Structure 1
């Protein structure tokens, strides 16, 4: 009686389920792998990514489309080696880069600590105030005082979103609230509360109305909330 050969099982290869829904990588995991590939290997085409992810090109394009909507990647046209037929390649945006671990906060804390040690406690606040002057000048050009207050608040929220603050705008009658659900500077803010004070001064100057903060992430609360007007 002939012996039926058994399939060779590769221990490094995960078993394939009989259920079609489980035979492909989970979408969010695939997106994470896609971002990692672009980060590690530089600009890649959809075909390159599909091959590396072991998915179809249309599937890769769907993930790329989702990541573009989230502003994590951007598409540009370039010629391989400066010659040949132009091709579309994908690279990380600043927001996409921010999804990977950074040591900026540790560096910032170290710099502020040395400034304080060398020039005294008030030096940190003077540095932050100088930065505020520069940032406020730019924002005041983008948010002129001729704009209605609500539009200025929303425009400011949009700028803060770009910096990773995950901002929302709420309104209660004539009062506006700016809500930040994330603090990208949390490590620094916990050690140097001057940063939070500088932020409050900046918003007051740019919006040109009284601004009061009633919640603060650095104090252990879930959000930073600013009452405007």
Structure 2
């Protein structure tokens, strides 16, 4: 499965998505390249429909332009997974037998919990578990960070590999939320979501570790 976005352009998209919107100066600092190089990448990505440009008034003189990702740009960040995820979800959703479908969704959830949490799912301090989940997601190509500046830490996911699916079926968001709850061993709120037009998805644990959530009480209703 080929990636339509080059490594250099993907790096710019990731940096831009983290900032939500940014000017050429900020991108030069982030990427460590010249303004000419940044402008060339921005022009290429704008022509491809992956970013847009908005003027911002800064007093007298010419307005400053800030760049941000378009919906297609956010999809491009998840393009490594999109076709596989679409096909998998479509196949599961088309299973007519409700019991079989529920069983398959449960096994999918178990597989993701094992992938992102391993044998230590639900163990350790909350920040340790969050860091472990972040590291596991990054190994599988996600761009995530932990924001611990507030009363409760936030796991921020900077692109959604399931964006197309979620626009038709928000159950995929619920599945990811339940997986994170089981990995972290506590309830998790989805406080921001790319499906709603946000530049990222944010998952906020509801507090210290609760009783470990089992598949029976953490399942997605198909």
TM-score scaled to structure 1, two decimals? 0.48
Larger radius of gyration: 1
TM-score scaled to structure 2, two decimals? 0.50
